[in-house]
Amino acid sequence: MKPKRRRLTFVLIGMGLLGAAAALVLAAFRDSIVFFYSPTEILAKALPAEQRIRVGGLVEEGSLEKVAGGTVRFKITDLAETIPVTYTGILPDLFREGQGVVAQGRFQEGVLKADEVLAKHDENYMPPEVADALKKSGQWEHMKDAMEGAGQIPKGAAK
């Protein structure tokens, strides 16, 4: 019985230490693990001008405008701060106002000149009829709030 107990405690202590080590490493590298920053975080950081960076949030309602030559201008918001973005190229199918997006590029005079725009969708799945019914019954806004709380709005953004 003795060696079994010893091996059990050994494994348990080992796993505990390993978990603690993993947690410390992840906490230390938090900045390189996050895939994108929210507008609030971007504005709080003093970024070197030439640094490539990803900004994530929702495409602000009413901010999307098409400029000549396939260029689009829109604003990314986390409902607290907004970042203006310009992008030339093909947008993903899911791209639309109110949709979650991640844009990557460099800042030029306060505007993010993006060379890549990715769409981000939320964790809600439903048939179109259900979505329509929710919109009609007025529960959609409630749903949207829930979505924004979770999947769409970056973490660390203003709630």
Partner 1 sequence: MHRFANPTRFMRLSAALLPWTAGAALALIAAGLYLGLFGSPADYQQGESVRIMYVHVPSAWMAMFCYTFMAGASAVGLIWKHPLADLAAKATAPVGACFTLLALITGSLWGKPMWGTWWEWDARMTSVLVLFFLYLGYIALINAFDDPTRGLKAAAILALVGFANVPIIKFSVDWWNTLHQPASVFKAGGPSIDPSMLAPLLLMGVGFTVYFLWVLMLRLRTEIVAAKVRALRLRQVRSGAPATPSGATPLGAKG
Q: Which residues bind partner 1 (CB under 8 A)?
A: 4, 7-8, 11, 14-15, 18-19, 22, 26, 30, 33-38, 56, 91-94, 102, 116-132, 146, 150-151, 154-156
Q: How far is the CB of 104 from partner 1 (least distance, A)?
A: 10
Q: How far is the CB of 109 from partner 1 (least distance, A)?
A: 25
Cα dihedral 6→11→13→16 (10° resolution): -170
Phi, psi of 24 (to 5 degrees): -65, -45
Q: How far is the CB of 130 from partner 1 (least distance, A)?
A: 6
Helix (H), strand (E) at residue 24:
helix 2-28
Phi, psi of 127 (to 5 degrees): -70, 155
* Partners of residue 104 on adjacent β-strands: 54, 116
